[in-house]
Chain A
Amino acid sequence: MDHDRKKIAPTRGDIGLIVGCLLAALVCCGLWLGLRRDGAAVIVEQDGRETARYALTKDRTVKIEGAAGYNILVIEGGEVWLSEADCPNLLCVKTGKIRYAGQSIVCLPHKVAVRIVGGASALDAVTGP
């Protein structure tokens, strides 16, 4: 027991490790805030494959249907969000609105990922109704 007791008090290593992790989070966060750009288009991926791509300039509402269920995608004023879905946890709906290149909304139960891409090349092949 004595041996174990000695180990229980937080060590210098603990503090270094935790501070290191928090710093890493901060650095990642800073990089993201500094480098983010408004997106040009949104890509819908189902099971890892791109199934549709829409420009952010035109408002629309689309139903994404898959084997596991559906998600309703809304594009409005340059922002994208999933307004409705029949997945069990609804994390995709709770993710809220995204607008910057690189941001994504993921619905793991349906294997659906909606991500925003930026730049001129993103609009080379806009598909969908």
Chain B
Amino acid sequence: MKTRKLTTLGLSVALALILSYVESLLPPLMAVPGVKVGLPNVVILFLLYRCGWKEAGCVSLIRLVLSAALFTGFVAFFYGLAGAVLSLLGSALLKKSGRFSPLGVSAAGGVLHNLGQIALAALVLDSGYVFAYLPVLLLSGTVAGALVGLLAGILIQRTDVR
């Protein structure tokens, strides 16, 4: 059982990392930092449902460290971390409430991810003006999160990994 879990999590890290790479190849969707689909989150959401928030958090953190070292860089790591922590926290709580499917859990996660990043940007740049991005980031977070939720929902339904 333990080996199986270790293997599942290891594979998850690899998969999430590859999805980060695939996403880094896509041209930016819009000229606003933070507008992207967040493909690696399909894996994280899957783990949240199939294993638990601790496992999802670990894989998310390792994925962030590796993708920062390989593709995105040091600064992006902290923005990713701010988004990931808030997003996972919110998603885990919403999932626990039992009122939402992966679709809603993920949409909220997407919005929270963007809110975390924008809050950090406001802190780092010491200016509240980055909040002018709020409408775009709320919209993109919802849409991207819902997409990720749909994908992860299909995976969760069709697999039986423990």
Contact = CB atoms under 8 A, between A and B. Distances in A.
Interface stretch (A52-60, A69-77, A90-98, A121-129): A90-98
Interface in A1-30: 1, 4-5, 7-15, 17-18, 21-22, 24-26, 28-29
The interface residues of chain A, by DSSP majority, are classed as: helix
Contact of B107 (A7, A8, A21): A21
A119 interface: no
B36 to A, nearest CB: 11
B83 interface: no
Contact-size category for B = 35 or more
B135 to A, nearest CB: 4
A10 B127 contact: no
Contacts of A32: 132, 135
B31 to A, nearest CB: 4
Interface of B: 28, 31-33, 49, 73, 75-76, 79, 94, 97-104, 107-108, 111, 121, 124-127, 129-130, 132, 134-136, 138-139, 141-142, 146, 153, 156-157, 160
Given A14-B104, A18-B142, A28-B135, 13 more contacts: A7-B98, A8-B101, A8-B156, A11-B101, A18-B103, A18-B107, A22-B138, A24-B138, A25-B142, A48-B125, A96-B31, A102-B132, A108-B121
7 contacts: A4-B49, A7-B102, A21-B107, A25-B138, A45-B125, A89-B28, A104-B130
